[in-house]
Amino acid sequence: MPLPGELLHDLERRTKAGDALADARQRLDVLFERGTFQEYGRFADHALPAADRKAASFPGDGVVTGVGYVGARPAAAFAQSLQIASGSLGRAHADKIAGIVDHAGKAGMPVVGFLSSVGGRLEEGMEALAGHGAILGRMANLSGVVPQVIVVAGPCPGAAAMIAGLADFVIMVRDRAALYLSGPEVIERVGGGLATAEELGGAGTHAGVSGLAHFAVADDAEAAALVRRLLGFLPANNAAPPPDRDEAALDVGSDEGMDALAPGSLEEPLDIRPILTRLADGGDWLEIQPAYGSSLVAGFGRIGGLVSGLVASQAGERAGVLDLAACAKAARFVRFCDAFGIPVVTLVDSPGFLPGLDQERGGLVREAARLAFAYAEATVPKVTVVVRKAFGGAYLALGSRPLGADVVFAWPTADIGLSGGDGERDVEARYPAPYLRDGRFTVADVIAPSRTRGAVALALRSLASKRELRPPRKHGTLAP
């Protein structure tokens, strides 16, 4: 049996060897409050069979896992290191990640992962493949239970790419991250064409084309800062309330600056972002997927102290029409908000769905139905403001009363109907609007733009105790 002195010497030796994981530890040091990170599995090691190994051991088996504090709340995290066996995933490596994900589920805390790996460790064969499967299974089981955020900080090929695909939010580091199932060499070999790793799966591709990445950042520090800001809007788990600021006084006063943003014609371009900035407390809101589905804006903010998911038509982009990307973006965002008890506030200014052969062949009907499904399925408070255009299917799909909106307001500039009205009519001539004379409860009230923030804040407060039951079932079948 080793003597205490021998044990201490071995501990010191293995700690120094662990310095090879400096790149991974630095990422976690930036994420967590100073001195709060508690590492789990620091001395895990996996030595290859003597016949195969080139090195005596892999310190930490190439990944750092543990728990620390982001602000005043704990979060679990893991970070892969390219410095140890190129970040390759073996059995012990996978066990550490699966273990910290399990811990996050039991403790009810968010989990953050930094991916940077060449993929499965070839020497371990099926052990590596099973390890990926164990992680995917854990993440699937925790979907909708705790928030899951992945930062792709380097290469992420093959089965590891699916780990990012299962996350609620994906952040990619420009010029370093590469995320794909089949690499450029494989695609070229099977006759799929020539492409660089950046073209195939870089941050720009996934942030603007595939929509897999919610954010593209310059470096690890920006990624960590973004994770901290994002978690500041999210509850710890699906049984905990969002981090509302309950001490915020309910302000139902007018915001005259909002009136200046309201256009007098349906034909005038309207940038919705300044409106969202005036709607959110202190102008503080976080947009997600800004480069994807640009005719629709989504993000998190607080209104009257209450965390809210913001969904808004962006009429400055193709008049706010809903295309494949916009529908997919909004549907998944609404479902995330519903899973974690975050109210949804929708601002509508859309003439309908984007017509086109590519859109229809690409599955626009499917994505439009999924968007409608997401709103109809959501039981969180849903408040909608029709800013201008709300025609046909777009009216229905974007938080309409027939699909379960709790309160629908309309600006005097609103035009709601099966198809568009005369865009040249001025506001005064069109008020009161036709939707107020059709005998139906289409909107709760017509409000001046200056009243928007106060009206929405009041509605959200009044809906804070909302309870809504749905028919017993395992789950719906039209998940995005």
Q: Are 292 and 193 members of one domain?
A: no
Q: Are 210 and 283 members of one domain?
A: no
Q: Are 32 and 135 members of one domain?
A: yes
Burial of 291 from C-beta contacts in 10 A (0-12 / 13-18 / 19+)? middle
* Average pLDDT score over the chain: 87
Q: Are 209 and 69 members of one domain?
A: yes
Domain of 117, in residue numbers: 4-231
Q: Are 194 and 330 members of one domain?
A: no
| More confident: 471 or 384 | 384
CB within 8 Å of 38: residues ≥ 6 apart: 66, 67, 68
Residue 344 β-bridge partners: 309, 382
pTM, to two decimals: 0.90
Last residue of a domain, one of 198, 231, 264: 231
Q: Is the pLDDT of residue 124 over 60?
A: yes
Q: Are 123 and 11 members of one domain?
A: yes
CB 349 within 8 A of CB 416: no
Question: In this structure, is residue 108 part of a structural domain?
Answer: yes
What average pLDDT does range 7-21 have in this prediction? 53
113: domain CATH number is: 3.90.226.10
Give pLDDT tens digits for 63-97.
999 999 999 999 999 999 988 888 888 888 999 99
The HSE-up count of residue 385 (CA atoms within 13 Å, CB side) is 29
Q: Are 319 and 405 members of one domain?
A: yes
Last residue of a domain, one of 196, 231, 266: 231
Cα separation values, 230 from 25, 174, 241, 277, 347, Å? 21, 19, 15, 17, 22
Q: Is the pLDDT of residue 12 over 70?
A: no
Question: In this structure, is residue 299 part of a structural domain?
Answer: yes
Question: In this structure, is residue 478 part of a structural domain?
Answer: no
| More confident: 91 or 280 | 280
Q: Is the pLDDT of residue 469 over 60?
A: yes
Give pLDDT tens digits for 383-436.
999 999 999 899 999 999 999 999 999 998 888 887 655 444 444 444 445 556
* pLDDT band at residue 379 under the 50/70/90 scheme: very high
* pLDDT band at residue 262 under the 50/70/90 scheme: confident
When divided into structural domains, the chain yields a total of 2
Percent residues over pLDDT 90 in the chain: 64
Q: Are 143 and 199 members of one domain?
A: yes
